[in-house]
Structure 1
Amino acid sequence: MRLIFALLALPTCLVAPLRAQETGPLIEYEHVPAAGLPDQRLSIWLPPGYDVGERRYPVLYMHDGHNLFDVAKSNFNKIWAADKAMLAASASGKVEPHIIIGIWAPGADRYRQYLPRSAYDAVGGPLRAQMDATAGGEVVSDRYLAWIAGPLKSWVDTAFRTRPARDDTAIIGSSMGGLMSCYAFVERADVFGRAGCVSSHWPAIDPQIVEGESDAVKALWDGWFAARLGAPDGRRVWMDHGTATLDAYYAPYQQVIDKRFAAAGWVKGRDWQSKVYEGAEHEENAWAARLPEIFGWLLAKSD
């Protein structure tokens, strides 16, 4: 009955039937309206036993939701297997099972929806021109963030048995989704107490094009975090990258960001983590391989 209520509580979208997965129920919502954005789409995973108890759960929001659970709906026939990673992490007893809200990427609009608006507004010259060319339209990540932190979260907290507090609300993404997760974390520190910025695309544009602007990109992120990061205050953020394919470009930028976190008084291993995975490529199988570790550290119960 509770699941039926959840299905009916968002009446302006088309809803795919509830699917019973081996790892737990999966609900899909299509054509979800969001003001000033392309229609959104959701895949929501509920932990096993959700429908037979009264327990309330923390919530994890994840970008590129089409690549999380179902190979048949993924872009590259590869998935993060986020449901299996959550079960593996929670089996340790150190992580509570989370409801996972997978938000699909809107196709060609993905870049302009994930590029942090405040970072985009802070740059000019050739770098800004390349961002504009890549976006192909208005950068709308500020609206996307407002929708997640506002109407979407409000609906999730009403339709499902959640624990809505900041420290029970996490957000994770990879590549441009990694940038978007860090954006949500610093701009809405009141909402998101945990963030996973996986293989974040710090160059922001084609890394081969950005080579002549690499110092400007480093200065962008250093200044951006310096202005917005603030004190840890119980928050926690995970950052990482591999060393192959697109990830091979990320180390110089991540090193600048790591120094900024340390300078801001964040304690590595307690408040933030930054890891390098030798040989790991920029793709879903690599992210799936380390996702249980990411969950195990990022979502661990607070002392």
Structure 2
Amino acid sequence: MMSKLNRRRIIQLGCGGAALAALPSALWASSGIGRFLEYRDISAPGLPAQRLTIWLPPGYSEGTTRYRVLYMHDAQNLFDPALSNFNKVWAADTAMMRHAAESGEDPWIIVGIWSPGVDRYRQYLPLPAYEQVDGTLRAAMDDYARGAIVSHLYLQWITGALKPWLDSALRTKPEPQNTAIIGSSMGGLISLYAFLEYPEVFGRAGCVSTHWPAIAPQSVDATDPDLVAIWTGMLSDKLSEPCGRKLWFDHGTATLDAFYPPYQAAIDTHMSTTSWQRGRDWESRSYEGAEHEENAWAARLPEVLNWVFS
């Protein structure tokens, strides 16, 4: 069942540079399904205005427990169908509570970062991938982006401003093994970029229905070695020793996801040549018949969380 965010439990605030720590303690009152905090119009250097929806687990305000933190993209599609792009959501809070019940562990705080509308593509496309291509592929990326690629600035903002801000204001466990990042489609690409670029920050990542073609998949050849090399090159350059870190890949087989298996097979082959051990350090799964949409991601999110967090 999809969760519906109770609007009476949302606190909406413009950020204006104010620290979370300065907010009144009444904001932390708990409810049966946790608490939602919302921040709008957050200034971030070189980026469109950012927006957050943060989910605090039930009981957060009643104790001294420190919580692990999951960062997720496309926050408008995580919790409330009424706020979503397609009237359906991941039900991330419900999935997190299911994970907690099944694992016997405390749930994680979820920090949902909204996508910036028309600027989503240029905020999520990994800069190293963009810099590797030229010709028609570069032109197509430019056409989609409609502006400068700013994914590196997005990650700099998350790691250099947002995370320190939250770690100072919330009872978090800030270590990389206690910090995860998950996204779907282009959000899968930016999650991989974050995991590779900032191993000292993100110890766990989930790349769900990753949009490996980067542009319209009908316009590129999935067997093109240059296209596949964009991603295997990033992995070769940035994937350090596992050291307890965990990386998840998946895809469905219907709608847009039907284009992904050849790309993921190449990624899986590359991963098998590294020191990372499948099933322990990384995983790749296919969901037969699953489409490229939020209901499909909601259906498997508990499984994703159980593996990534284990």
Q: TM-score, normalised by structure 1?
A: 0.92
Structure 1 residues 270-281: aligned runs within 5 Å? 270-281=280-291
Q: 1:203–1:214: 8 Å Cα contact kept in structure 2?
A: no
Q: 2:222–2:228: 8 Å Cα contact kept in structure 1?
A: no
RMSD: 2.3
Letter in 1 for 2:82: A
Q: What secondary structure is seen at the aligned counterpart in 2 of 1:208?
A: helix
Q: 1:230–1:264: 8 Å Cα contact kept in structure 2?
A: no
Q: CA deviation at 1:250?
A: 0.4
Q: CA deviation at 1:217?
A: 1.2
Q: What secondary structure is seen at the aligned counterpart in 1 of 2:284?
A: strand
Aligned to 2:228: 218
The 2-side partners of 1:10 and 1:256 are apart by 43
**Where does structure 1 lack aligned partners over 5 or more consecutive residues?**
1-5
The 2-side partners of 1:69 and 1:226 are apart by 35
Aligned to 1:103: 113
Aligned to 2:248: 238
Q: What secondary structure is seen at the aligned counterpart in 1 of 2:247?
A: strand
Aligned to 1:12: 17
Q: CA deviation at 1:214?
A: 3.3
The 2-side partners of 1:277 and 1:37 are apart by 35
Aligned to 1:146: 156
* Distance change >3 Å, CA 73–CA 20, structure 1 → 2: farther
Q: Deviations over 1:22-62 (max 9, x none)?
A: 42100110101111100100000001000000000000000
Letter in 1 for 2:292: H
Q: CA deviation at 1:12?
A: 3.1
Aligned-residue sequence identity (percent) comes to: 57
Q: CA deviation at 1:230?
A: 1.8
**Aligned: 1:264 with 2:270:** no
**Aligned: 1:127 with 2:137:** yes
Q: 1:9–1:159: 8 Å Cα contact kept in structure 2?
A: no
Q: CA deviation at 1:211?
A: 2.6
* Distance change >3 Å, CA 11–CA 219, structure 1 → 2: closer
The 2-side partners of 1:261 and 1:22 are apart by 42
Count residues with an aligned counterpart.
Answer: 295
Aligned to 1:188: 198
* Distance change >3 Å, CA 199–CA 158, structure 1 → 2: same
The 2-side partners of 1:142 and 1:21 are apart by 37
Q: CA deviation at 1:129?
A: 1.3
Q: What secondary structure is seen at the aligned counterpart in 1 of 2:214?
A: coil
Letter in 2 for 1:126: T
Q: TM-score, normalised by structure 2?
A: 0.90
Aligned to 1:137: 147
Aligned to 2:84: 74
**Aligned: 1:53 with 2:63:** yes
Aligned to 2:3: none
Q: 1:95–1:299: 8 Å Cα contact kept in structure 2?
A: no
